[in-house]
Amino acid sequence: MAGLQKILITVLVLVLILLALVFSLNNQEEISLNFLLFQTQPQGVAVWVVMAFVIGALVGLLLALLATFRTSVSRRTLKKRLERTEKALEKAKAENDRTL
């Protein structure tokens, strides 16, 4: 079963590489991007598309890491509060048992 999975992943990767190669060969027309203050050097359309994909993936990864970090910090804070509350509850129960 693991061997079949490795073969399927290998075939999928090869197909994706082939699609990327075909895409880049079909989009070799050079264009330059005009931003508000500057203009880029002419590059192939495929280069700009791949760059946009990579930048988007990196931004998405950064946002996911930030969200994970914030969740982790929040979870740790809540865990500490829970532990303090449980200790206070145990102390209150022990005092209540002594008074009865």
Residues 85-95 have pLDDT tens digits of 999 999 999 88
Question: Looking at the predicted structure, is the pLDDT value of residue 78 above 90?
Answer: yes
What does the pLDDT read at residue 25?
A: 84
DSSP 34: B
Q: Rounded mean pLDDT of 60-87?
A: 96
Residues 40-50 have pLDDT tens digits of 999 988 888 88
What distance in Å separates the CA atoms of residue 42 and residue 26, rounded to the nearest whole number? 17
Q: Which residue has the tokens 């359309």?
A: 45
What distance in Å separates the CA atoms of residue 20 and residue 46, rounded to the nearest whole number? 9
For the whole model, what pTM was predicted? 0.62
Question: Looking at the predicted structure, is the pLDDT value of residue 21 above 90?
Answer: no
Taking the domains of the chain in order of start, what are their residue ranges?
2-99
What distance in Å separates the CA atoms of residue 85 and residue 99, rounded to the nearest whole number? 21
What distance in Å separates the CA atoms of residue 94 and residue 96, rounded to the nearest whole number? 5
Contact, 48 vs 24, CB < 8 A? no
